[in-house]
Structure 1
């Protein structure tokens, strides 16, 4: 053992000053100038300045007259005097015998000992010695420096940096001391004209790569995986020892994330083989990887495309990134465009999908030709332009059974019966069926049956097609979802319960993927509308309305139709007018097809109510012509003709009613719904002619309710009650109307300041529940006729109610009545709330 020369001096020396945290400098100064024993632990990752700090402490302590001895394999530690200072560098590398000797000396609290090491896991061999040393004084922790630390270091060196340069260096290095020191070494403050310092990154790239190659294979692989992970994504799972080892080597920050400069250096120097392995290795399959820019290799491009295809269903956003990276790696532009469009479709970004597909021309014979055809056709369908969707299939003959089935869906939608049937009856393409191919066959057969065969057979096939499509997990583009087609068939046959069941199952199974969910929910709300479940409809609308601007035009049209339908059935004339105005924009862009007959029917009837028949007339005329070209199939035609019947009733035009009534009679033998509508149409015609047969009206109204038309049944019963003078019949039919269409209590929507009343209003307790309901409608400004329509009573009965209310409240005129009604309604609301709270 040799004593170090006794030297005078201070922490500064001929050696350039190390870049150290100010706190570590302070502790080092205290240690160097304080009395014996000199004991400390210096801990930090590689390159943090541990060895340099040890050398400087050795110089300073030795200069004060204390012997300083370096640990070697031949040193006799037990015989070293307590007053001497034992210097131990890289303690984490010592063999067990030396570690044991160091630990024994550390246990002697009066013995001088300076130990430097990298961060250790709990339980490591050197931990005993380091833990005892930390009890003597806080460890000198190195590795991360702040702006103040760098500024102090530069001042000590007699140099400086601009604020922008200092900020960028700390940002790119993550504050890692060794990287900051290297960056400062290559930075030219006088010639720096780019605050991003690209020359610094270039200069240090090889240094980082060399250090990484010199590390253990396990650490190198882990650091590469961490650097490949996208920023903001969690690092790959690894043993704590591996994470700590990578930090101790200086490649990661203490939180396990790589410094930007290290990340860029690793990505710039990775081999193509390593990149391909990262995107194909099962161990990394779930990691979100990033691709370094500028790497072009067909093998890598193929790997990226394959990985994107695997993630298209589960994470289309990530798949789109991988496709774009594949293009940067040299993948075929057309292949990438089709796949990017597929990912955009899966995300519900219809315009983005169209833009991606518009950027290329997919030639005949290309492997992605059918995929491009389906995408293009489905995009046009989502835009509410199924004729354009059909045109796509006309211009490019489908080669696969799936694309043929989609072509059939589009052709039938635009009333091209011949082409629709031809594509629907195309031969199956697989000898051994898959779940998707079975769904496709059932869909095609069901559509063909809906035009030429039994409606029930068509429904059975379409329901099974929906189930198989859900089971297949398919999420690709299609002009219309099998679940929607099955639900429409059920509604068109008067079986709303079946439609609800189909859509409920489809939503729960993720039918069609994420993009399809809002469409399924909107159609599910439509079924709820026909089942008189207004709360479910409004709940769905409330969930979708905040994102209405992002809806595809087809879904926006359905949303507007639902809004109008709810307003027409449950709200007042003002609300209906507002809803109608909101739907005008959709109507301007709309192009109705076979699958949008139900929304069209709602617009046709509402247009009469709001006095804007001309706005919908062209659509209605075209729909009738299309239905005729299709052969007026009973399964599809009933609702269209029923809308014509309702329109004629509202217009009081028997001449316009007759052709639709006749069409329903012709379809009645093949469709239960059409038969019910035909019977109800006959009864309604008799009622409007002045003949009210209470039994016939009630039977017809209940029949309509049974097939999902309870609102129309209630209107029929209400009309019957309004066109007879027999009190018993009136009471009976109004009761039927209220039962079929239960109207929730209407509360005033605005409470304006009422003028002071000369007389004190009486309590609301003097009014019955029915009178309170009438009172609320009076406050809203409704007429006798409007009140009668809203709650299914005759205008005369409404007048009697109001007269009785006026007497009970002692109102002297209409203004006084309104003021007292508002007070009574407020009291009623307060009492109701108190009762609810008391029972809670």
Structure 2
């Protein structure tokens, strides 16, 4: 028979062990991270041979669970009255052992018949295996309590049957043992669930593993679970230590860069890679993509010229392909870049796709597609991402938000709003929250719901002060820009607009990224009634179209910019307006096209032109509404409104402001407001959003 706890005292035959109990702070730190693993671990370190007595681990949470009616006093009395061997059984159960008579006989060195009796006594006692730990420790004594746990560990190691939850629990209970520490590190290294890995690393340190040897791996695992504070604390330690292994230093930089990117400050990620310099070689392509995104093309080129170190893995090939694609977006045009990005995406599957990196290849593919008017390609990239994403992972929420953004551009406001509800804005990282807040503002702006727009704008105030702008956050900046102008607080985003302009200037104003920014600039000039600003951004779009070698998206934006200039100068060319508006719609900007046609209709001096352009605006709006499910309830009849109210309703649904409607109908903005209030009361709408839905269901804004 193997050595029992009576023989072992404080050591096992397999490893050196110490009876010293970990400090309270160490136990608390590891215990917090290990709790989730104890509840959720499903893996085995190795299979256990079936027992002929009973299943040893299946009874952990059933036979010895404390009943609700059992009082603390009864629990104390039960333990006080228990003999040493029964207390030993209780100690084994606290570590996750089942009531296996064969195992009890081996660990406690008792006869088989005695072990069976102990099993029956333990079943009748129904002691809470968690809450009873202090009482059992006190009753057995610390030395004997740990001796039982060591003997239990020895038995499980001998049969290769130590389960993850048991290994973690043993470490939490104070067992220090080299073999246990090694098993826990091995468990953490192989665990697919980052929560289990994080708990196992923490427990390994409690069991005696050298914290320095697992620091980099523990750092990355903490970040994968979303514990950014712990991860960054380890990053700081690894970067500050002069003797940190180069590979561990690269890991620390990659993790730190990932966390800073999630905080919405990509330039800090770039700072880390610049600091690492030539030591970035294995992650040089990752660094290059970050540096391009942060507006440092020279630094990115330096990284791409670094010699390749290590084998040509799929991960390195995908990183290189993405970095080369980013170079194309800066130096040439979007078409070859999009192909390269999707090639990089195709190289990523399984573990490669789940790597912790400062950026998601699928997200960059989707963003670049949106920036260049290819919504179907963006959807394809995000669909591919869902194949490897798991809810709660670092990339899941961002990919969902991008899918919502694509839906918003396509006119499917309901799906976009559903995404916001799904991800839960308040729980997001700063980077993801930026997209969520901007999307909420964009939806409110498109629906004409000024109250919701103001509410979402105010919710974004603190965020605006905390983030910085990079190539990958130009889209939300554009919506914040327009929202700020709408609520009269554009000065709050001026510093971010300046950052974006400086960023694009440093990169040579690359059309693949800059066109969307300048298009938002055109919209901002229109809303702010600032013709000079419009001229500036329209000119940038024109130059981009000239440089883009037939790029339809660049040409469409440039043409629309020139058309807007003419419209605001009251030079209405209905054919040109319709052509520009429909081209915008075809490229995923139907709302913008309807807005252009509607403004031209508002300024047209003859009825025929105004009516024709208004029909264009209606048809473009209708093309969006086809994607939005109709309300379930039966809408009121259009006869419920007077002729004047019907005119007002039509223009409200098309997105005109009260002032613009008043100018079109030759009434004051205040009168328009009164008309809207009467329409809302007459239809029984509880909010402006509900009013708009009801009017659309009645046919306003969508009739040909």
TM-score, structure 2 as length reference:
0.73
Compared with structure 1, are the counterparts of its residues 818 and 717 closer, same or farther at alpha carbon in structure 2 (3 Å cutoff)?
closer
Counterpart contact for 2:146–2:174, Cα < 8 Å: no
Alpha-carbon offset, residue 662 of structure 1: 2.0
Q: Secondary structure at the match of 1:378?
A: helix
Alpha-carbon offset, residue 776 of structure 1: 12
Quick one: higher RCO (CA 8 Å, sep 6+), 1 or 2? 2
Match of 2:682 among 821, 828, 834: 821
Compared with structure 1, are the counterparts of its residues 592 and 606 closer, same or farther at alpha carbon in structure 2 (3 Å cutoff)?
same
The residue aligned with 1:519 is: 398
Counterpart contact for 1:474–1:511, Cα < 8 Å: no
Q: Secondary structure at the match of 2:277?
A: coil
Compared with structure 1, are the counterparts of its residues 597 and 300 closer, same or farther at alpha carbon in structure 2 (3 Å cutoff)?
same
CA distance in 1, matches of 2:212, 2:313: 28
Return 5+ residue gaps in structure 1 as ranges: 1-118, 122-142, 151-162, 174-178, 187-199, 225-241, 747-763, 779-783, 807-812, 834-840
Pair 1:389 & 2:266 matched: no
Compared with structure 1, are the counterparts of its residues 816 and 219 closer, same or farther at alpha carbon in structure 2 (3 Å cutoff)?
closer
Pair 1:661 & 2:661 matched: no
CA distance in 2, matches of 1:425, 1:205: 60
Match of 1:418 among 278, 298, 302: 298
Pair 1:167 & 2:28 matched: no
Alpha-carbon offset, residue 542 of structure 1: 1.3
Match of 1:789 among 655, 660, 675: 655
Match of 2:219 among 322, 341, 348: 341
CA distance in 2, matches of 1:721, 1:145: 75
CA distance in 1, matches of 2:156, 2:442: 56
Pair 1:323 & 2:323 matched: no
Alpha-carbon offset, residue 666 of structure 1: 1.9
Pair 1:700 & 2:580 matched: yes
Alpha-carbon offset, residue 343 of structure 1: 2.4
Higher share of residues assigned helix:
2
Counterpart contact for 1:415–1:627, Cα < 8 Å: yes
The residue aligned with 2:451 is: 574
Q: Higher mean Cα deviation, 705-714 or 511-520?
A: 511-520
Counterpart contact for 1:705–1:740, Cα < 8 Å: yes
Counterpart contact for 2:444–2:453, Cα < 8 Å: yes
TM-score, structure 1 as length reference:
0.62
Pair 1:253 & 2:123 matched: yes
Q: Secondary structure at the match of 1:290?
A: helix
Compared with structure 1, are the counterparts of its residues 374 and 786 closer, same or farther at alpha carbon in structure 2 (3 Å cutoff)?
same
The residue aligned with 1:488 is: 367
The residue aligned with 1:459 is: 338
Alpha-carbon offset, residue 638 of structure 1: 0.7
Counterpart contact for 2:617–2:654, Cα < 8 Å: no
CA distance in 1, matches of 2:246, 2:620: 57
Counterpart contact for 2:89–2:118, Cα < 8 Å: no
Counterpart contact for 1:445–1:461, Cα < 8 Å: yes
CA distance in 2, matches of 1:411, 1:256: 61
Compared with structure 1, are the counterparts of its residues 787 and 484 closer, same or farther at alpha carbon in structure 2 (3 Å cutoff)?
closer
CA distance in 2, matches of 1:301, 1:146: 31
Counterpart contact for 2:66–2:126, Cα < 8 Å: no
Give CA deviations for 1:596-623 in whole Å, capped at 9, x if unaligned: 0111111112222221121111211221
Q: Higher mean Cα deviation, 785-794 or 732-741?
A: 785-794
Compared with structure 1, are the counterparts of its residues 464 and 815 closer, same or farther at alpha carbon in structure 2 (3 Å cutoff)?
closer
Alignment of 1:419-818 (within 5 A): 419-431=299-311, 433-510=312-389, 514-545=393-424, 548-668=425-545, 669-670=547-548, 671-742=551-622, 767-768=638-639, 774=645, 789-790=655-656, 795=661
Q: Secondary structure at the match of 1:591?
A: coil
CA distance in 1, matches of 2:213, 2:423: 34
Alpha-carbon offset, residue 323 of structure 1: 0.8
Give CA deviations for 1:539-598 in whole Å, capped at 9, x if unaligned: 0111223xx332111111111101100000014222211221111121122211111011
Q: Secondary structure at the match of 1:387?
A: helix
Match of 2:286 among 403, 406, 410: 406
Alpha-carbon offset, residue 205 of structure 1: 7.0
Q: Secondary structure at the match of 1:509?
A: coil
Give CA deviations for 1:327-347 in whole Å, capped at 9, x if unaligned: 112223234443333222212
Give CA deviations for 1:380-439 in whole Å, capped at 9, x if unaligned: 1111111111111121236465522221122112211111122245444444x4332332
Counterpart contact for 2:167–2:180, Cα < 8 Å: no
Q: Secondary structure at the match of 2:183?
A: helix
CA distance in 1, matches of 2:278, 2:615: 57
| Alpha-carbon RMSD | 4.8
Compared with structure 1, are the counterparts of its residues 770 and 534 closer, same or farther at alpha carbon in structure 2 (3 Å cutoff)?
farther
Q: Secondary structure at the match of 2:83?
A: helix
CA distance in 1, matches of 2:580, 2:219: 51
The residue aligned with 1:158 is: none
The residue aligned with 2:183 is: 303
Counterpart contact for 1:679–1:700, Cα < 8 Å: yes
Compared with structure 1, are the counterparts of its residues 820 and 295 closer, same or farther at alpha carbon in structure 2 (3 Å cutoff)?
closer
Alpha-carbon offset, residue 502 of structure 1: 0.4
CA distance in 2, matches of 1:490, 1:696: 26
Alpha-carbon offset, residue 284 of structure 1: 4.2
Q: Secondary structure at the match of 1:485?
A: helix
CA distance in 2, matches of 1:273, 1:821: 77
Counterpart contact for 2:515–2:541, Cα < 8 Å: yes
Q: How many residues align?
A: 601
The residue aligned with 2:15 is: none
Match of 2:83 among 162, 176, 182: 182
Q: Higher mean Cα deviation, 344-353 or 629-638?
A: 344-353
Give CA deviations for 1:493-541 in whole Å, capped at 9, x if unaligned: 2211101110122023328982210011111111111111111101011
Counterpart contact for 1:436–1:472, Cα < 8 Å: no
